[in-house]
Structure 1
């Protein structure tokens, strides 16, 4: 039986004398190169992020404007309010003078609080930027925080887009920008930097880019005490992949998983060595700041005091936010979110609920736990498709509450952020 003829675009009819080995015309080669570059860019850039980032920038610029107005009416300088609030002073001091140069003794308990409690990545970047650029350490700290907040918003969008598409990703960024404590993204604090590193590390895990995930997780571990949550998420996903594929996993998975916890572990051991107690020194330093895991005893004590004696608006709202975080984590698990996001968010919630320390600061600790907002973002995006006016009204109300409350926290409230 004769074989059927299969058309082939490379075949040339006889008698035409065409050299099939000759290169393609220059225009075709250039066009092919452009297409390859465009495909690479599409693989690296997340499509449709511009509206979400514009929304984020608008909300945070509005927050800075509200703070500026409040400080102007009170006769206070804006820059100082943004760069010298609570922990910011410690970061700036470390950036200028290094570790071991500042202590604070509590008059009530006599506890000696040392600057070793603050992780080194942010003050190190402040020192570098203020050295390279003609900026004061305060201005450099603010520049880093604002840039990191934008990078974090882009990373959060990338995760939402990868999982659920553009609408959910945009809603996710908008909700994160409109959280009650999102004012922290406007000041010289470490949450923007930590969230940026965590978001892109988790995105790399979702894309199975293990070396990038491990490297970013290592940096995240150098930015905040809770930085080990990113490494724990990577280790959990890597373990699942090893079991799933019976050990037949790429070499990059092993390397990325190995380097993920190095930043956090390295700094903890360094602090311990500096105190003369390599394994317990860091945790002793943190206890002086009343920062330890007490399995929720401090939270229960706070709840009892709040019910008996009441408190300013900071405390009831903090309780509402922490309770909502626990409920949202349950929804995240019920929605079967990716394992890495569940582990990362779960550890942050566990530390917040089970840790001691000022209860009014706990909503700030939850700010990097953006995966908790995925169920809300999914619902908001669905509402936008069905009833856009209702979604717009809800979003506007959330933004207004965020701006008013954030301005109150930074200009009027006496409780520590």
Structure 2
């Protein structure tokens, strides 16, 4: 009896705390766990690792793409593209957007190093993203489930992104904010958010598609929810802005370098690490199709099996988003965004180990995992998240030294 009463009292005290404080407690505890994982990975790193034997945690936080962001902050973007011996464009800064590195450089000018500024941006943006995610999900799944979704999100297998010098945290904050504005019908406030998204990370084209689908749904439901002329204008203009902004970066790269294919050829230079025969041209959906054949051939199953598996996966995901009862609880906007983003990934991305990181914009779907009221289920999801997080950090950082281990 005393234990039960203490538990109820603790629960009541927890719910009396402001949401911002509860989210902060969850987020900071999650970051402490991730820091322990990074420290363990640093101790387990050997001479064969990309980082060498027992590097400091700071070296891990500044690894991989973080070095590209730092290089952009210091040197900017090249006007002459690097070429290999065969004349093909090699990896360079044009694959990365400018908002995050230059924002860190701006903050770094206040007396802290670029590295510290970049990690602080990731940490702060991650906390703010948790707050917005809670607000986005709360009216759909309830306050308790929304907090569990935040707990899953803060401890997710890719939660290391909240502590490394990558643009993911900032992009997620902007994305969740944009989805929140759409959910609250504050379309007029979307313009600056869409622009910032476009130059933080690739993905704004998916948001433009989402806005188009959202507008169609609003039109179909206009008898149940009035659709004003001003709202139609803002939805359309924001969708157009997203499309133009998303296409502008390849055009900017082309103008600056004098090569129209500068951006797409740069992106393809990463893909050539797997497909040596790749000609560097961009054809929508080709990369995923080629990758399915490539990976299944590597696994000894053959390209045909890979292509069939890809089709099955696409159909299964579509069915889940359309008919899954827990996903339907999240509302049409989260489902339309998820479908739009997945279609975008299928169209432009070559899947390899980085695909897990590129799934982060689907994080509002954590709300579906939080819907079941069973405490055993929810605690099991947290444990699975932490196990996945350690596995990912260990493989990508402690062992990260090959094409198969890229965060």
TM over 0.5: yes
Moved more, 99-108 or 326-335: 99-108
Counterpart selection for 2:285 from 287, 294, 297? 294
User: In the TM superposition, what is the alpha-carbon distance from 1:165 to its structure 2 partner?
Assistant: 1.3
**Whole-Å Cα distance in 1 between the matches of residues 107 and 258 of structure 2?**
32
Moved more, 404-413 or 255-264: 255-264
Mapped pair 1:365 → 2:345: no
User: In the TM superposition, what is the alpha-carbon distance from 1:238 to its structure 2 partner?
Assistant: 3.1
**Whole-Å Cα distance in 2 between the matches of residues 233 and 89 of structure 1?**
32
Map of 2:10 onto structure 1: none
User: In the TM superposition, what is the alpha-carbon distance from 1:274 to its structure 2 partner?
Assistant: 1.9
Map of 2:174 onto structure 1: 197
Secondary structure at the aligned position of 1:56 is classed as: helix
**Whole-Å Cα distance in 2 between the matches of residues 62 and 98 of structure 1?**
35
Task: Give yes or no for contact 1:172–1:377 (8 Å, CA) kept in 2.
Answer: yes
Mapped pair 1:57 → 2:28: yes
Moved more, 73-82 or 152-161: 73-82
Mapped pair 1:304 → 2:296: yes
**Whole-Å Cα distance in 2 between the matches of residues 107 and 81 of structure 1?**
32
Q: 1:246 to 1:390 in 2, by over 3 A?
A: closer
Q: 1:246 to 1:168 in 2, by over 3 A?
A: closer
Map of 1:416 onto structure 2: 406
Bigger RCO of structures 1 and 2 (CA < 8 A, at least 6 apart): 2
Map of 2:337 onto structure 1: 344
Q: Deviations over 1:374-407 (max 9, x none)?
A: 322213xx21xxxx34533442343244234323
**Whole-Å Cα distance in 2 between the matches of residues 324 and 184 of structure 1?**
26
Map of 1:398 onto structure 2: 385
Map of 1:265 onto structure 2: 247
Map of 2:66 onto structure 1: 88
**Whole-Å Cα distance in 1 between the matches of residues 201 and 312 of structure 2?**
23
User: In the TM superposition, what is the alpha-carbon distance from 1:219 to its structure 2 partner?
Assistant: 1.0
Q: 1:89 to 1:372 in 2, by over 3 A?
A: same
Moved more, 247-256 or 147-156: 247-256
Map of 2:92 onto structure 1: 114
Map of 1:128 onto structure 2: 106
Map of 2:264 onto structure 1: 283
User: In the TM superposition, what is the alpha-carbon distance from 1:63 to its structure 2 partner?
Assistant: 0.7
Task: Give yes or no for contact 1:105–1:111 (8 Å, CA) kept in 2.
Answer: yes
Structure 1 gap ranges (5+): 1-45, 311-319
Map of 1:248 onto structure 2: 229
Task: Give yes or no for contact 1:213–1:260 (8 Å, CA) kept in 2.
Answer: no
Secondary structure at the aligned position of 1:224 is classed as: coil
